[in-house]
Chains A and B, each alone.
Chain A
């Protein structure tokens, strides 16, 4: 297993509110996560960090069913953020996206809230997670096309985030992966800056993962880099 990370504050922001996690708790098992914090009185990075630390502190039992554990760790993270924002005035209304992937035995298990994403490249690029966002709702009820969505002025509005509501609708599932597949987790700092086709083009080039992630990161920056950018890429 090998992993690479790209994280950058971007061109316009004062702070990097993204947090990430790459953990190999045991052989042939990896826990990957990205979180994109927001809101509060400059407390976005607090929310995303609590989300990531909640995962780091969680005792996974990898020989048990994974998905229920994913649900419970995300629920726990949500509660931790809510507790913290109740305790400190500065942290009111802070929230974060959270996208968590667990690689084990040729499976990718994932849990997801918000508009960060997991992509799987197996010759073609596929977005595995579904954005909890206003524009995605518009795409799904066919009000706009995916292409229109990319330029939509309200594309930063998300319909679900950790730390806001008690009840969450956590998207969970698992997918089979093979040795050659590349897994990518990213925040919208990447996916809002580069169109899907262009991301796919970079994946299809004959280059190492390290070169790929560098190219994706610097392209997001040259395309504007209006938001923090965090990318994790890895292989089984």
Chain B
């Protein structure tokens, strides 16, 4: 697949990922000269009508949306053996790998990502599209921190009321809404639940429900109440806890009404906590997950027995904690009088001032939060200076990486990203370039050129020049030699030269003169001389009558490789612009004397003036030419430039 040119247009560069239904490649659109992502239906599904319909649906659904938070679809291409989408190429990473790397995100960062995801989903909902498969794998984050939602793999139009998923439930179980897990009707509210799961995971570093199998996870979505976010992440602001837990309600009507309402709540929460981002980061391992196909029946049967036991255990635990936290205490009512009210006011005021003092203390003693500067492509020590201006320290990541464009010692990536707000005590981890990658050049001797092109491309090397030579030893299009030599260590940008075989040197034959010869004889002459008849082009001629050869691809006497094809022009008749008489004149000239002579015949007729014959002859030869002309004609014969005869015809 790599190196293949699809539809004469998309050159596959490398594989980027794989999902349950499709493989994703990075490719170059050579027509528009831009990078694209190609999402190709897995070969085993191309024959599956149901899958193809889903795949096509993805294209149509997303193509309707233009939004900065939705990955654009440019094209859908169907051919006999494959079906694929051409999509916007996103330079960046997916949220899954971000969470994996960082464990958990800061509250503001998590809310910002959720806000952008919800914005993309909101516009989809406005277009009657339910995403149905929101999960961190499908949330891409560009290097500029732009969030893009992709893979509307099983999105369906809300307007088609039958939304029940039939045989298979797609998507990753961790992010299933209860209704999705049950195979019930799914709708826009299902996406809200899934966004909630993603938000829960970003904030706490863990998904609300874990299990040994997708089935057990799906069951928990249906049956179990999730642990409150603040239980697993105590420092979460209450407002955010409530927001997330509301999205995770089992009943759709208990969740936020719409994506736009969810967004409003997220934006409000960001506003309220923006100044005090004070949450610890803790790392938790995360199990990666590919989209799996589950049968509805699997969930009902297989999982149940095993899960019941586990659930019992889990439930008993949670119910204990529930009690200690939530058992309401009975309060005795008492009567209030004025004095009591005044006393209360005083107490409240006093405590308010204490609270203010605590708040004051907290703000001014706590480590300041600063914005991370952009350090990418800066030299390390320069970056240290820039970071120092914000009071931040740099830390080199353990491994330096190869980079084509960024010089050795310069920074390739940084964590956290520019613009993010972090505590000053936290180090900025930077990855430094080792410069361009050095690769060992393979031996291409006696390998086909095409293969070498692919290998070079994969290694990041480019082919500078291909020169061709005849060779008895190497087959046509096989490589004879290369520069640099095999095994030499080359930088990734090095250009490689190859010498390629043209096959054995062909036998050269002499092109016969065919002008004025009739078609059948010309074909005979071509074959007798070891050549082949090529394209025949019919047209009117100023010089040759119908059926005669009026031009030939190679001049007579030229050396041509054996078996070459020769294109011929065949006259469909003389050009006759009026109703002129057509003439046919035979001219014979004996070459006498002792020197070579150039004989030239010039024709002047209604089609203009033209040299009809010009050739050098040795003594003893005989010139015999038939000249066709239209209307009143003058024929002039020259010997070595000197007019020796002039003939008027039809005057």
A and B associate in one complex: yes
Residues of A near any B CB (own CB < 8 A): 3-5, 7, 9, 21-27, 56
Q: Does B535 contact A (CB under 8 A)?
A: yes
B572 touches A3 (CB 8 A): yes
The SS class assigned to the B binding surface is: strand
A-B pairs under 8 A by CB, number: 27
A22 touches B538 (CB 8 A): yes
A7 touches B540 (CB 8 A): yes
Q: Across the interface, which residues of B come within 8 angstroms of A26, CB to CB? A: 535
Q: Which 7 A-B pairs have the closest CB atoms?
A: A22-B538, A24-B536, A5-B572, A25-B535, A23-B537, A3-B538, A5-B573
A22 touches B572 (CB 8 A): yes
Q: Does B539 contact A (CB under 8 A)?
A: yes
B535 touches A24 (CB 8 A): yes
Q: Report how far A7 CA is from B541 CA in the complex, Å.
A: 13
Q: Does B577 contact A (CB under 8 A)?
A: yes
Residue of B nearest to A23 (CB): B537
Within 8 A of A (CB), among B536-582: 536-540, 546, 572-573, 577
Residue of B nearest to A234 (CB): B538
Residue of B nearest to A7 (CB): B540
A15 CB to closest chain B CB, in angstroms? 10
B572 touches A23 (CB 8 A): no
In the complex, given contacts A22-B539, A23-B538, A56-B537, what are 17 additional A-B residue pairs having Cβ atoms less than 8 angstroms apart? Answer: A3-B538, A3-B572, A4-B546, A5-B538, A5-B540, A5-B572, A5-B573, A7-B540, A9-B577, A21-B538, A22-B537, A22-B538, A22-B572, A23-B535, A23-B537, A24-B537, A26-B535
Q: Across the interface, which residues of A come within 8 angstroms of B537, CB to CB? A: 22-24, 56
Q: Across the interface, which residues of B come within 8 angstroms of A7, CB to CB? A: 540
Q: Across the interface, which residues of B come within 8 angstroms of A4, CB to CB? A: 546, 572
Q: Across the interface, which residues of B come within 8 angstroms of A5, CB to CB? A: 538, 540, 572-573
Q: Report how far A25 CA is from B577 CA in the complex, Å.
A: 28
18 A-B contact pairs sorted by A residue (CB < 8 Å): A3-B538, A4-B572, A5-B572, A5-B573, A7-B540, A9-B577, A21-B538, A22-B537, A22-B538, A22-B572, A23-B535, A23-B536, A23-B538, A24-B535, A24-B536, A26-B535, A27-B533, A56-B537
Q: Across the interface, which residues of B come within 8 angstroms of A21, CB to CB? A: 538
Q: Report how far A9 CA is from B573 CA in the complex, Å.
A: 15
Residue of A nearest to B565 (CB): A26
Within 8 A of A (CB), among B81-124: none
Q: Report how far A21 CA is from B538 CA in the complex, Å.
A: 7
Q: Across the interface, which residues of A come within 8 angstroms of B539, CB to CB? A: 22
B566 CB to closest chain A CB, in angstroms? 13
Residue of A nearest to B567 (CB): A25
Q: Across the interface, which residues of A come within 8 angstroms of B540, CB to CB? A: 5, 7
Q: Which of B537, B538, B572 has the most CB of A within 10 A?
A: B538
Residue of A nearest to B535 (CB): A25
Residue of A nearest to B519 (CB): A2
Q: Report how far A22 CA is from B571 CA in the complex, Å.
A: 10
Q: Across the interface, which residues of B come within 8 angstroms of A23, CB to CB? A: 535-538
A107 CB to closest chain B CB, in angstroms? 19
Q: Across the interface, which residues of A come within 8 angstroms of B572, CB to CB? A: 3-5, 22
B452 CB to closest chain A CB, in angstroms? 27
Residue of B nearest to A30 (CB): B536
Q: Report how far A189 CA is from B573 CA in the complex, Å.
A: 19
Q: Across the interface, which residues of B come within 8 angstroms of A22, CB to CB? A: 537-539, 572
Q: Report how far A4 CA is from B537 CA in the complex, Å.
A: 13
B78 CB to closest chain A CB, in angstroms? 15
Q: Across the interface, which residues of B come within 8 angstroms of A9, CB to CB? A: 577
Q: Across the interface, which residues of A come within 8 angstroms of B538, CB to CB? A: 3, 5, 21-24
B30 CB to closest chain A CB, in angstroms? 18
Q: Report how far A118 CA is from B535 CA in the complex, Å.
A: 24
Q: Report how far A4 CA is from B540 CA in the complex, Å.
A: 11
Residue of B nearest to A11 (CB): B579
Q: Across the interface, which residues of B come within 8 angstroms of A27, CB to CB? A: 533
Q: Report how far A21 CA is from B539 CA in the complex, Å.
A: 7
A140 CB to closest chain B CB, in angstroms? 35
Q: Which of B536, B573, B577 has the most CB of A within 10 A?
A: B536
A189 CB to closest chain B CB, in angstroms? 16
Q: Report how far A3 CA is from B538 CA in the complex, Å.
A: 9
Residue of A nearest to B568 (CB): A24
Q: Report how far A9 CA is from B536 CA in the complex, Å.
A: 25
Residue of B nearest to A32 (CB): B538
Q: Report how far A23 CA is from B538 CA in the complex, Å.
A: 6
Q: Report how far A129 CA is from B361 CA in the complex, Å.
A: 93
A68 CB to closest chain B CB, in angstroms? 14
Residue of B nearest to A221 (CB): B579
Q: 0/1 per residue, B383-426, Cβ < 8 Å to A?
A: 00000000000000000000000000000000000000000000
Q: Report how far A21 CA is from B540 CA in the complex, Å.
A: 10
Residue of A nearest to B532 (CB): A27
Residue of B nearest to A25 (CB): B535
Residue of B nearest to A1 (CB): B536
Q: Report how far A33 CA is from B577 CA in the complex, Å.
A: 21
Within 8 A of A (CB), among B514-545: 533, 535-540
Q: Report how far A21 CA is from B569 CA in the complex, Å.
A: 12
A33 CB to closest chain B CB, in angstroms? 11
Residue of A nearest to B571 (CB): A5
Residue of A nearest to B536 (CB): A24
Q: Report how far A179 CA is from B539 CA in the complex, Å.
A: 24
B9 CB to closest chain A CB, in angstroms? 16
Q: Report how far A125 CA is from B538 CA in the complex, Å.
A: 25
Q: Across the interface, which residues of B come within 8 angstroms of A56, CB to CB? A: 537
B532 CB to closest chain A CB, in angstroms? 10
Q: Report how far A7 CA is from B571 CA in the complex, Å.
A: 13
Q: Report how far A182 CA is from B539 CA in the complex, Å.
A: 20
B607 CB to closest chain A CB, in angstroms? 14
Q: Report how far A106 CA is from B66 CA in the complex, Å.
A: 51
Q: Report how far A144 CA is from B540 CA in the complex, Å.
A: 40
Q: Which of A3, A5, A56 has the most CB of B within 10 A?
A: A5
A18 CB to closest chain B CB, in angstroms? 12
